[in-house]
């Protein structure tokens, strides 16, 4: 009985992230259009786009290898597994023993690796530009992410997400400047990793600025649909990660009643919607950075993480 319930919760969570991901993209787009006083497409538009892309034929370049064809599925599956490991509305998940922050970073890293390879596979110049830029951002963002993991692990004594979330809800956490720094640092990394505005513009096809779009330029049909879904999933993953780590209130703890699961789900939806609103507001207020400014941006994030770790040592007194 226990096992069945755990399986149901885990399965519901996996389905939930996939179903919700295009909606998150749609909501962010809609809010951004409304902030610019445009009507904007319906929030359901990403679903329609995905359906249309799946029905269309795939156009492959002559020299595309097997890697080009299999990469979208690899990227989608690794991103999906990573997204399913993040506790969204309940912590006591079937796979929570494997829901390790380092594992999630590694899964996202391998997805990015395949995406960069696929971008270079056909041999067009845009794909190469996109891949090299993506690798530059990755090389800068990964240390920051590891630094944040380090801070959280020092505090909670574990890198497991459910343990960290349980620690964050407990009163033992107190008021800490380190956590504030880690939070800001995670926001900056999230923006860089999901390709949002100051780092990359998700809505552009201008060759000077695009990063993610340049890599998927050669894809069409169902491959493109899968990649778009993976992109939305990554955005949702970061939103859930931030919500789970730094705003864990309302998260359902293990062995709770069905009523509690309802509350957890409602809280999760509210948190994600708030996150979408904040993201849309931020993206509307800020301009895209030059590519060469990105190291400074991520350097500041790294500095925050490092400073947070140092301050943590003072408060613990070694």
Partner 1 sequence: MHGIAFDVAHLLAGCLVLVSFLMLYQDRLYSLLNTYALHATVLFLSVAWQAYIQNAPDLYVTAGIALVFKAIIIPVALHRMIVKLGIHREIETVVGTGPTMLAGMGLVGLSLVVMLHAAAGANLMAREDLAFALAVILLGLLIMVTRRNAVSQVVGFMSLENGLILAAAGAKGMPLVVEMSVAFSILIAFIVIGIFLFRIRERFDTVDLQALDRFRGERQ
Residue ranges that bind partner 1, judged by CB under 8 A: 174-178, 180-181, 295-296, 299-300, 303-304, 306-307, 310-311, 313-315, 317-318
Identify any residues that bridge with 160 across adjacent strands, giving them in sequence order: 100
Closest CB to partner 1 among residues 221, 295:
295
Closest CB to partner 1 among residues 41, 295:
295
Taking CA atoms, 273 is separated from 48, 59, 177, 211, in Å, by 21, 36, 26, 26
75: nearest Cα among 121, 103, 117: 117
220/60 Cα distance (integer angstroms): 8
181: nearest Cα among 144, 209, 136, 128: 144
- Tell the smallest beta-carbon distance from residue 300 to partner 1 (Å): 7
- Tell the smallest beta-carbon distance from residue 167 to partner 1 (Å): 14
Closest CB to partner 1 among residues 285, 314:
314
Quickly list DSSP for 47-67. HHHHHHHHHSPP---TT--HH
- Tell the smallest beta-carbon distance from residue 315 to partner 1 (Å): 6
Torsion of CA 22, 25, 30, 33, to 10 degrees: -150
- Tell the smallest beta-carbon distance from residue 175 to partner 1 (Å): 4
- Tell the smallest beta-carbon distance from residue 110 to partner 1 (Å): 29
Closest CB to partner 1 among residues 18, 306:
306
Closest CB to partner 1 among residues 23, 179:
179
């Amino acid at each position: 009985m226990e096992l069945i319930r755990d399986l149901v919760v885990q399965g519901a969570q996996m389905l939930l992230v996939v179903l919700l991901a295009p909606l998150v993209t749609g909501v962010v787009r809609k809010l951004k259009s409304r902030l610019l006083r445009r009507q904007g497409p319906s929030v359901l538009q990403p679903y329609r786009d995905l359906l249309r892309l799946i029905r269309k034929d795939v156009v492959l370049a002559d020299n595309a290898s097997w890697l080009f064809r299999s990469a979208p599925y690899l990227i989608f599956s690794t991103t999906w597994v990573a997204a399913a490991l993040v506790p969204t509305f309940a912590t006591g998940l079937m796979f929570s023993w494997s829901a390790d922050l380092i594992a999630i970073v590694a899964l996202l890293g391998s997805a990015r690796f395949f995406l960069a390879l696929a971008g270079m596979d056909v041999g067009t110049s845009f794909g190469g530009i996109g891949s090299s830029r993506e690798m530059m951002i990755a090389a800068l963002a990964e240390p920051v992410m590891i630094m944040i993991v380090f801070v959280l692990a020092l505090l909670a004594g574990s890198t497991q997400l459910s343990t960290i979330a349980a620690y964050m809800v407990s009163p033992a956490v107190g008021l800490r400047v380190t956590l504030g720094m880690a939070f800001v640092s995670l926001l900056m990394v999230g923006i860089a990793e999901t390709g949002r505005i100051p780092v990359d513009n998700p809505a552009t096809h201008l060759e000077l600025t695009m990063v993610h779009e340049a890599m998927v330029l050669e894809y069409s049909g169902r491959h493109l649909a899968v990649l778009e879904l993976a992109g939305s999933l990554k955005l949702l993953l970061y939103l859930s990660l931030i919500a789970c780590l730094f705003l864990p209130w309302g998260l359902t703890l293990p062995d709770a009643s069905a009523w509690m699961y309802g509350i957890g789900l409602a809280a999760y939806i509210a948190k994600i919607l708030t996150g979408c609103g904040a993201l849309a507001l931020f993206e509307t207020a800020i301009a895209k950075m030059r590519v060469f400014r990105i190291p400074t941006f991520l350097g500041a994030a790294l500095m925050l993480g490092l400073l947070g770790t140092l301050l943590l040592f003072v408060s613990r007194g070694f």
